[in-house]
Amino acid sequence: MLIKLTGGRVYDPANGVDGEIRDIYVRDGKIVSPPEDGRVDQEYGLHGRIVMAGAIDPHTHIGGGKMTIGRLMLPEDHRGDPVCHTHLTRGGCGHAVPSTLTAGYRYAEMGYTACFEPAMLPANARQAHMEMADTPMVDKGAFAMLGSDDFFLRQLAAKDDIEAIKDYVAWTIHASQAIAVKVVNPGGISAFKFNQRELDLDEQHVHYGITPRDVLLTLSRSLKELGVAHPLHVHGCNLGVPGNVETTERTIAGMEGLPVHLTHIQFHSYGTEGDLKFSSGGARIAEMVNKHKNISIDVGQVLFGQTCTASGDSMRQYGNTKSANPKKWVVMDIECDAGCGVVPMKYRDKSFVNALQWAIGLELFLLIDDPWRIFLTTDHPNGAPFTCYPHLIRLLMDKGFRNDMMQKIHPDAAAASILGTLDREYTLYEIAIMTRAGPAKSLGLRDRGHLGVGAHADITVYDDNPDREAMFGTPVFVFKNGEVIVRGGKIVKVVHGDTHVARPDFDPSIEKSLRDYFSRYHTMSFDNFKLSDAEIEDGGRGGVIIQPTAARSTS
């Protein structure tokens, strides 16, 4: 069947299309050239409407054990947002840590068609994928967490050959069905198990003697040489600690030009000026990012209200427990692999610190020049639930609205930020880069995030509503693989997305060392650790899509 989307204003940055009136043709789930015979089976008149590829969230905590801890811990939050079943959709709950089913529905209802879980512990990969399989509507993918796992730290401490480390990194991507690798508080999650309470960039791990800098350089180089599209996804040292702007600057400068993605950088952009010894490092970080083209970032914007922070960073999350609201929290040490910390948080606009966090995030958005290197995230649910994205987009696109919001925050925070002096308003083209083309390019999704011929027909259509919050909150149509799944912001068809993975090459002889390591120390056998394609595909909850990697190289 040939479908024609007629007359919409198309924003497709991957193909350089900036608001041109274009027709789009779809056949068998993909975007195709206009048919030679001109025959069209179904037509959607989109005159006056805005057309973009389906949105892609490159960093959202939607699946895995720590999210389910958050769910189980916060019944009071769910009770405020019950979701009834319909003849199409299942019951669930929303807000800070929504049920998987509701998360899938709500992402689709906002025009998102792919979501990436950024902190999958390899030891917890099976569960993370099961949760993502129960997140309908959207495509998924996950980043395997490395850098505090004992196998890697032993390799690093023993100064193993970089090729063996690369083999292990690649093996982990295969075994956990990941598309990329994330490092969280490099070496610090392990150091916390040895009772270290902080680990700065050049501080030594008490047991292994290695530093976070060693971890970052080794992993970023490994991924580059393995040909994995997405650079090392870095949750740096000292998250949330006033003064961490300097650590972040040193991290950027210290990457020796290797590609890295610094995630939720807002939480790493804090100075120590002022009476409360808490100030914005937004301008400093933006300048560093602008200068270093090897760096991409996502913001991790804070928005006000109740949420729940959930991170692999057990060390820093333990430090954050004093701010828990409500006063309950979970910290875990996990399987000689990683850790986690789940701490509920209520960001208040009348709190100086929270208000300044809000302003710092917006400063970063507005001061970083290149929208191809900055992605729109709240680090769901750490800065705010993903359902706040339309509000965030309006803050970026509408200076008047932003200034109105600034009137409501703690006046000292407003005074301590340069936000009020920033006039930039994001364009629709830039929003399309930040929420579609940029993440797709960074993650190496060759046929997602754009509207060129051959792309999957994941397409979102909006009314050109000057209230951009309303516009992005309620798409007119969302197409997934060429089918209408959302109409007028409501689900009309339930589908299951696919799981995107990468498969970099590795020398299978690494499995010998791993098999020995598992049998000596682990409580799970090497063979059972590995997650097969069949486990993801069985049950009809979507397939596995292997995205390309470049040829492996050495330096």
Partner 1 sequence: MSAMGENADASTFENVVCPFCGLLCDDLEVERQGTDLKIRKNGCHRAVVGFERALPASKPQIAGKDVSLDEAMTAVAQMINKASLPMYGGLSTDVGGMRAALSLADRSSGVVDHAFSGAAKHNMAVLQQAGWITSTLTETRNRADLIVIAGSDIHKLHHRFFERIVCPEETMFQDGAIKRTVVFIGDGLDQSGAKGACIDEVITLPCPLEQADEVLAALLARMRGKPIASQDVAGVAVSDIEDLAKRLHEASYSVLVWAVGELKVPEPELFVHTLCETVKLLNRTTRSAGLSMGGGEGAITANSVCGWQSGYPLPVSYASGAPKYDPEFNSIDYKIASGEGDLLVWLASFTTDLEPPETSLPTIVLGTPGIKLKRQPEVFIPVGTPGIDHAGQLIRNDSVVSLPLRALLAPRHPSAAEVLSAIEAKL
Catalog residues that contact partner 1 under the rule CB under 8 A.
Answer: 63, 65, 67-69, 71-75, 78, 82-85, 90-93, 97-102, 121, 123-124, 126-127, 130-131, 134, 150, 192-195, 207, 318, 324, 327-337, 342, 520-525, 527-528, 531-532, 535, 538-539
C-beta of 66 vs 436, nearer to partner 1: 66
Entry field: residues in the chain: 555
Q: How far is the CB of 525 from partner 1 (least distance, A)?
A: 4
CB 510 within 8 Å of CB 164: yes
Q: How far is the CB of 93 from partner 1 (least distance, A)?
A: 4
Question: What phi, psi does 523 have (nearest 5°)?
Answer: -110, 15
132 token code pair: 């993502």
Nearer to partner 1, 85 or 293 (CB): 85
| Minimum CB distance to partner 1, residue 210 (Å) | 15
Comparison of 195 and 407: residue with beta carbon closer to partner 1: 195
Q: How far is the CB of 188 from partner 1 (least distance, A)?
A: 14
Q: What tokens appear for 482 in the block?
A: 């060429």
**Smaller CB separation from partner 1, 90 or 348:** 90
Q: Which is nearer to partner 1, 298 or 313 (CB)?
A: 313
Of residues 552, 555, 547, 541, the one with CA closest to residue 133? 541
DSSP 549: -
Shortest distance (Å) from residue 339 CB to partner 1: 9
DSSP letter string, 458-471:
-EEEEE--SSHHHH
Other residues' Cβ atoms within 10 Å of the Cβ of residue 127? 16
Pick 56 or 338: Cβ nearer partner 1: 338
The owner of tokens 């976070």 is 212
Tell me, rounded to whole angstroms, the distance of Cα 104 from its chain centroid: 15
- Chain centroid, CA 525 distance in Å: 30
Backbone angles phi, psi at 27, to 5 degrees: -140, 135
The residue among 294 and 321 lying less far from partner 1, judged by its C-beta, is 321
Of 263 and 317, which CB lies nearer to partner 1 in the complex structure?
317
φ, ψ for residue 338 (rounded to 5)? -170, -150
CB of 524 to partner 1, least distance (A): 6
Contacts of 469 (CB under 8 A, 6+ apart): 390, 391, 393, 394
Output the smallest distance, CB 334 to partner 1, in A.
5
| CB closer to partner 1, 43 vs 538 | 538
DSSP characters over 262-287: E-SGGGG-EE--TTTT-EE-HHHHHH
- CB nearer to partner 1: give 154 or 487: 154
Contact 45, 7 (CB under 8 A): yes
Euclidean distance between CA atoms 171 and 534, whole angstroms: 18
Q: Which run of H or of E encompasses 50?
A: strand 49-53
**Residue 340 C-beta: closest distance to partner 1, Å:** 9
Q: Smallest distance from the beta carbon of 99 to partner 1, in angstroms?
A: 4
User: Is-contact 499 139, C-beta < 8 A?
Assistant: yes
Smallest gap from Cβ 44 to partner 1, in A, equals 32
Using the minimum distance from each CB to partner 1, give the nearer residue, 23 or 81: 81
In sequence order, what are the residues at sequence separation of 6 or more whose Cβ sits closer than 8 angstroms to the Cβ of residue 349?
304, 355, 358, 408, 409, 410
Shortest separation between residue 78's beta carbon and partner 1, angstroms: 4
CB atoms within 10 A of CB 282: 30
Q: Two tokens at 415?
A: 């005074």
